Amino acid sequence: MEPRRLCHVLDQSRVILCAGCGGVGKTTIAASLALAGARKGRRVLCLTIDPARRLANALGLERMDTEAKEVEPARLTAAGVRVEGRLTVMMLDPKRTFDDLIVRHASSAAMRDRILQNRVYAHLSSRLAGTQEYMAMEKLLALVHDPGYDLIVLDTPPTSNALDFLDAPGRLISTLDSPMARWITDTFAAPRKSRFDVVARGAALALRGVARLTGAGFIEQVAGFLAELNGLFGGFKRRAEAVSAALRRDDFAYVLVTSPEPASIREVLYFAERLAEHGLRRDVFIVNRVHQAPGATPTVSEVDAALARLGGPADHAAGASCPTLAERIARAAIEEDALARRDRENLRVLDELALGPGELCPIRVLVPAFPADVHDIAALAGIADRIC
Amino acid sequence: MTFPFDRRFLFVTGKGGVGKSTVTAALALALARRGRRVLVATSGARERLSTLFGVAPFTAESRLVAAGVWGVRIDVDAAMREYGGMMLKSRTVYDAVFDSRLVQGFLAGVPGLHEWAILGKVWYHSTETDGAGRHRFDTVIHDAPATGHGLEMLRVPKVIVDLVPPGILRRDAERAWHDLTDPIRSGVVVVALPEELPTTEALELVEALTSELGLPIAAVVANGVLEPLFTPAERQALLAAVPSGLAQPGDVGSSGEAGLMSAARRAIREELQAEHLARLAAVAAAYVELPLLPHGAMSLPGASTLAERFG
């Protein structure tokens, strides 16, 4: 298959999922992709996890705001950005999504309150392994058929290991829906019902062992919590299948974000391999914060000449033991050049190992390192220019 | 405030990508140079510390990886089995718990259990003694998960203490929590880069650790600090002298002007860096700045250079 350009991905996808390890600027890239999509006339929802406060403010989001909120056209115009479509942003709050699910699915007010007020639920609903990842997918499933949006850009949770995003929902489901959990819930839901099969006897022994560690009563509380939840969602397994099917949709694109650092490249390649193993697509690698070469590394006298022409600053640190201002300016260029070379060298590894049709990743796009942090709409638009 | 070298247990965390492993290694070398026996513990699926020390991958058995520094990888399943073995005296019950796939599947997802197995095991190493009653290690450093997950991990013993009824699990969690909250004994090392997001996340982490959990901060470490080339006045003057549109290297007149543009971009970075460093330095804890090394710090020479900065 011909590799698709990022522009085509933005035009044709229903969902774009941004993945990568922590600290590579995934949230910023997701916001830029969303803006790029909106500029192309699409109605875009950017579902983000935890944007930097200044970026959130720039988009008009309050920190704890979890409602979908359209970025006012006036804000965009003020930043010099013309948007043909619409840009809506929404912050994902796993605890809130979980609560909403319970409110929506509980068969009675009594059941709803029983769950929401369960001590275990209160402590752990947002801490069950994989909850954040699961709730991100849950939210996505709820929104994917919303006719109000043409494109949903999903920023994935900041995990130390990008794979958690794929594996954690399964882990949550296998806990809630494991034979053990079912046995526990059956037992505690109907304590008088006698169970004589071998599995149940083994489990009973095991459960006594676990209870010896945790003390009396705790397992019952956990079991009560799991029983309510499992009943509520009509089997998490079916939902897991829906998630798995959604991940394989044709109009569901994967954008892998990395920095040019070797560790980050290794991580993203590993992630790409795992996506391939799962039979999932890899559409684009975005390498964020790539250092650009200064164009030239001048001699000290060339710098002096330029300083004289432009009326540059006086040498504040002049002294016998200190390098002159011109020397330090020349050094700034040399160091910038060295960073650019190092990045180019690191990127060769990525290109040789993974780039091209039929390879781990069909195309890659470079986003330059900006001297200042990216936290306003104009800067996002600057990135959007680079990627499409 | 100087770095508290006498703590027994240090928990190193910070936003993803800030260089936690590098800082862990540098800190271990700094402590070893002071004659302390240091254990570095890691739990990630893909640990990077062995590469840095130039040794075979860490295993569950602690091994000498540099003079005075031992390394260990905490294997979650093994740690859980071992813990179970110590607690469940009956072999039959033990087998029933740990050889049952049913139970394994269930345990894998019980909230906080994995985190507790890892943290509990690392903490246990800080209490280990030899035959003569002497501590096996003077300091145990945990190269811990990134901020969110790291905070979760630290929260687990407190949740157990709050939630689980009296029993073995609760008793152990109480002991660990007692040690972790003791500022003489333990401390969290918060690592940041002098950039907006990592700095903000570090400050929020400090706030959560101190006010919500009451955990002591051993130090704030600013990693990857660019050596300033220009004074604040020069930065301002450079930015004023260079025409706008300097955000990106593009076509410029002479190579001298290209140099000025490069210097102006550097000035912006130095200016922002100074702002973020001031925010980090304001935290009431020991504060250490580690320089950005031209060839990267993920090597033994790199970490050794950084080790000197701990004073």
Radius of gyration of the CA atoms of chain A, in A: 26
- Chain B partners within 8 Å of A161 (Cβ): 44-46
Q: Where are the domains of chain B?
A: 9-228+284-310
Of A22, A218, A297, the CB nearest to B165: A218
Question: Cβ-count burial of A129 within 10 angstroms (0-12 exposed, 13-18 middle, 19+ buried)?
Answer: buried
Unique residue bearing structure tokens 């001297």: A371
| Confidence check: pLDDT of A300 > 90 | yes
Neighbours of A344 (CB within 10 A): 13
Structure tokens at B309: 């900065």
Q: Is the whole model's pTM more than 0.80, yes or no?
A: yes
- Best interface-test mutation with B: which of A49, A55, A132, A213 has the largest number of B CBs within 10 A? A213
Q: What is the distance in angstroms between the Cα of A363 and the nearest Cα belonging to chain B?
A: 23
- Measure Cα distances from A276 to A72, A254, A272, A280, A360 in Å: 39, 11, 6, 5, 7
Measured between alpha carbons, how far is B150 from B43 in angstroms, rounded to an integer?
A: 11
Could B262 and A325 be called an inter-chain contact, meaning their C-beta atoms sit closer than 8 Å? no
- A172 or B130: whose pLDDT is higher? B130
Q: How many CA atoms does the CB half-sphere of B258 hold within 13 Å? A: 20
| Confidence check: pLDDT of A147 > 80 | yes
Q: What is the distance in angstroms between the Cα of A2 and the nearest Cα belonging to chain B?
A: 32
Candidates 3.40.30.10, 3.30.930.10, 1.20.200.10, 3.40.50.300; CATH matching B9-228+284-310: 3.40.50.300
- Measure Cα distances from A114 to A111, A228, B160 in Å: 5, 9, 22
| Confidence check: pLDDT of A159 > 90 | no
- Best interface-test mutation with B: which of A57, A214, A331 has the largest number of B CBs within 10 A? A214
Would you state the pLDDT for residue A357?
66
Would you state the pLDDT for residue A205?
66
- pLDDT tens digits, one per residue of B75-127: 888 887 777 776 666 666 667 666 666 666 666 656 677 788 899 999 999 99
Measured between alpha carbons, how far is A227 from A204 in angstroms, rounded to an integer?
A: 17
Could A303 and B103 be called an inter-chain contact, meaning their C-beta atoms sit closer than 8 Å? no
- A contact residues 252-281, partner B, Cβ 8 Å cutoff: 259, 261-264, 267, 270
- Chain A partners within 8 Å of B236 (Cβ): 313
- pLDDT tens digits, one per residue of A74-123: 999 999 999 999 999 998 877 788 888 788 778 888 888 888 887 777 76
Confidence of residue A350 (pLDDT cuts 50, 70, 90): confident
- pLDDT tens digits, one per residue of A211-220: 766 766 776 6
> Does residue A33 contact residue A153 with C-beta atoms inside 8 Å?
yes
Q: Is A103 left (phi over 0), alpha (psi -120 to 50) or beta?
A: alpha
Q: Order of strands across the sheet with B69-73? A: B63-66, B69-73, B38-42, B139-143, B9-14, B186-192, B217-225, B286-291
Return the C-alpha torsion angle B59, B63, B66, B68, nearest 10.
Answer: 130
Residue percentage of chain A with pLDDT more than 90 = 29
**Which of A120, A327, A320, A129 has the alpha carbon at shortest distance from A227?**
A120
Could B17 and A202 be called an inter-chain contact, meaning their C-beta atoms sit closer than 8 Å? no
**ipTM of the modeled complex:** 0.80
Low-confidence ranges of chain B (pLDDT < 50): 246-248, 251
